[in-house]
């Protein structure tokens, strides 16, 4: 296959610090075009990396010289733009959260299948070497049967991260973000816990709240800034997921899995990113990469998975079909909180309070 000509729909922070530089490092990719609703960001990328600036994303999708697109616009637009792009014959890498409803998420997957195109979702946590190694260790039985877990993702919020920073950042508005910390961070850890344990979330109970984040006028924001969820997994493991935009200090990206033969921790011990403490007290540590944080951007590997997926035609570790399961659990958590009930996820993907 010739070089893949990639277009970027949304040239905000994630495109600027990850997707565009990661694509630029590949010799088999041409950075062909950019769209951003404030044109200046697209122009900046074009002048730095080369390629065309489009006035609308539809114009990019009509262009037969574009083979694939990276969708990294505000959450609320993910599904519509992705489906439109797939229907125009483009492969799509879409940022998380995949969509705002389960129906939209399912339609994205169905459209990719119908069109025979790759749909990947930007779940970089799956590709992190500590998480990859932890999954292998758990699979090999290093901590025995997984019994319980806790997984956390918390930092001080997205207001300084965004390429349009400030107290009124779009992440804080329901009409642009859909959900708050739950969708922004919770989707990462919901998916991660399924990835690590090899089990699906089958039952959830969730509390969400807007505790502290305020817009410039002093009003609380319209989406959640904290969520705490209880998960029951398909083989019986129980655990918690905590996500927060109000950890005003160091970021917490830790996961601890308690098994019948020992405890595995990732990013819990500052000196050892991946550690196992066996039942008999033996301590095992492993050489792995640091986690990417907002302040420490290392290569995520997401673009590599996407491009390799286009070349191979095989399903990837980030494929929309795989991520659907975690989306189900996130929407179940929303339902649980809204209705004040535990929600079961049925085998056919339905939900029952």
Ligand X SMILES: NC(=O)c1ccc[n+]([C@@H]2O[C@H](COP(=O)([O-])OP(=O)(O)OC[C@H]3O[C@@H](n4cnc5c(N)ncnc54)[C@H](O)[C@@H]3O)[C@@H](O)[C@H]2O)c1
Nearer to ligand X, 45 or 345 (CB): 45
Beta strands in 65-213 (DSSP E): 68-71, 91-94, 119-121, 146-154, 201-209
Does residue 122 interact with ligand X by CB under 6 A? yes
Nearer to ligand X, 72 or 199 (CB): 72
Does residue 10 interact with ligand X by CB under 6 A? yes
* Among the residue ranges 10-18, 236-244, 261-269, 344-352, the one whose residues contact ligand X (CB under 6 A): 10-18
DSSP category for residue 3: -
Q: Cβ(151)–Cβ(254) under 8 Å?
A: yes
Does residue 39 interact with ligand X by CB under 6 A? no
DSSP for 211-261, please give it: -S-B-TTSPBPSS-SEEEEEEEETTS-EEEEEEES---SS-B--EEEEETT
Q: What is the spatial distance between Cα 142 and Cα 260, in angstroms, rounded to a whole number?
A: 10
Does residue 7 interact with ligand X by CB under 6 A? no
3-state secondary structure 293-310: ECCECCCCCHHHHHHHHH
Q: Determine which residue in the list 124, 128, 316, 336 makes contact with ligand X, applying CB under 6 A.
A: 124
Does residue 5 interact with ligand X by CB under 6 A? no
Does residue 273 interact with ligand X by CB under 6 A? no
Nearer to ligand X, 115 or 184 (CB): 184
| Three-class SS state of 61 | helix
The closest alpha carbon to 221, from 166, 262, 261, belongs to 166
Does residue 163 interact with ligand X by CB under 6 A? yes
Does residue 51 interact with ligand X by CB under 6 A? no
Does residue 82 interact with ligand X by CB under 6 A? no
Instruction: Give the binding site for ligand X (CB under 6 A).
Output: 10-15, 36-38, 72-75, 77, 95-96, 122, 124, 162-164, 170, 176, 184
């Amino acid at each position: 296959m010739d070089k893949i000509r990639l277009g970027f729909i949304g040239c905000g922070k994630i495109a600027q610090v990850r997707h565009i530089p990661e694509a630029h490092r590949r010799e088999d990719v041409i950075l062909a075009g950019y769209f951003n609703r404030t044109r200046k960001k697209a122009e900046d990328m074009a002048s730095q990396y080369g390629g065309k600036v489009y006035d609308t994303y539809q114009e990019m999708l009509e262009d037969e010289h574009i083979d694939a697109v990276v969708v990294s616009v505000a959450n609320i637009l993910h599904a519509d733009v992705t489906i439109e792009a797939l229907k125009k014959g483009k492969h799509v890498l879409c940022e998380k959260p995949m969509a705002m409803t389960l129906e939209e998420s399912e339609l994205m997957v169905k459209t990719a299948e119908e069109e025979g195109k790759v749909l990947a979702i930007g779940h970089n946590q799956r590709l992190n070497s500590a998480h990859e190694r932890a999954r292998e260790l758990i699979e090999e039985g290093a901590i025995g049967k997984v019994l319980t877990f806790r997984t956390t993702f918390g930092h001080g919020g997205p207001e300084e991260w965004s390429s349009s920073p400030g107290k009124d950042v779009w992440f804080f508005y329901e009409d642009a973000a859909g959900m708050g910390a739950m969708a922004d961070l919770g989707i990462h850890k919901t998916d991660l816990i399924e990835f690590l344990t090899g089990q699906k979330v089958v039952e959830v109970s969730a509390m969400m709240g807007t505790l502290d984040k305020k817009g410039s006028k002093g009003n609380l924001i319209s989406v959640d800034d904290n969520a705490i969820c209880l998960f029951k997994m398909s083989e019986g493991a129980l655990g918690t997921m905590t996500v927060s935009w109000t950890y005003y200090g160091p970021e917490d990206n830790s996961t601890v899995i308690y098994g019948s033969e020992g405890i595995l921790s990732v990013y819990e011990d500052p000196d050892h990113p991946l550690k196992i403490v066996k039942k008999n007290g033996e301590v095992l540590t492993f050489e792995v990469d640091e986690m990417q944080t907002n302040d420490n951007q290392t290569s995520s590997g997401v673009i590599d998975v996407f491009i390799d997926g286009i070349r191979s035609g095989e399903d990837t570790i980030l494929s929309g079909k795989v991520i659907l399961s975690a989306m189900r659990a996130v929407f179940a958590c929303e339902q649980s909180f809204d209705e004040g009930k535990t929600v079961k996820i049925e085998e056919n993907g339905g939900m029952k309070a």
